[in-house]
Amino acid sequence: MAAQLGTFDDLLALAPEPLRPVVEALRAAAFAACPEANETVRLGDRAASYGLGPRKMLDGYAYVMPHAQWVNLGFYQGAALPDPEGLLEGTGARLRHVKVRSAEEAGRPALQALLEAAVTERRAAPGR
């Protein structure tokens, strides 16, 4: 079954109104880390993926996924990223995320550093 793709505006409409500025700020941060990033909105996942190409797990470095009370800034290879401030959550083999509750939090230098590290990791990945 093909993934249900959509636009960023479609994803934004799924987010609770107070969190829409957070979603937009995280999108801007994802593009700041990699201006040429490919953005793929998968409505079935309720997320926008950012990567060096359209393949979620092979090309993707981050995703933005709104929830009811926060927005996850997720990292496909988060377990391999340096995280000196201990922001990353999750116990999966690879995936990690940060719960972001405000646009101010989205602008934290530590989040931008995680995004930049994720881009670097994807660029260096063998077989990508």
Residues 71-128 pLDDT 10s: 999 999 999 999 999 999 999 999 999 999 999 999 999 999 999 999 999 999 876 5
Q: Could you give the CA distance from residue 26 to residue 96 in angstroms, rounded to a whole number?
A: 16
DSSP 74-121: EETTGGGS--TT---B--SSS-EEEEE-SHHHHT-HHHHHHHHHHHHH
pLDDT tens digits along 33-80: 999 999 999 999 999 999 998 888 889 999 999 999 999 999 999 999
Q: Which residues contact 68 (CB under 8 A, 6 or more apart)?
A: 16
Residue 1 has pLDDT above 50, yes or no: no
- Taking the whole predicted model, whether its pTM rises above 0.85 is answered as yes
Distance of CA 4 to the CA centre of its chain: 18
How open is the CA angle 66-113-126, to the nearest 5 degrees?
A: 90
CATH architecture entry for 5-124? Alpha-Beta Complex (3.90)
What pLDDT is attached to residue 56? 86
What pLDDT is attached to residue 2? 52
Q: Which is higher by pLDDT, 88 or 3?
A: 88
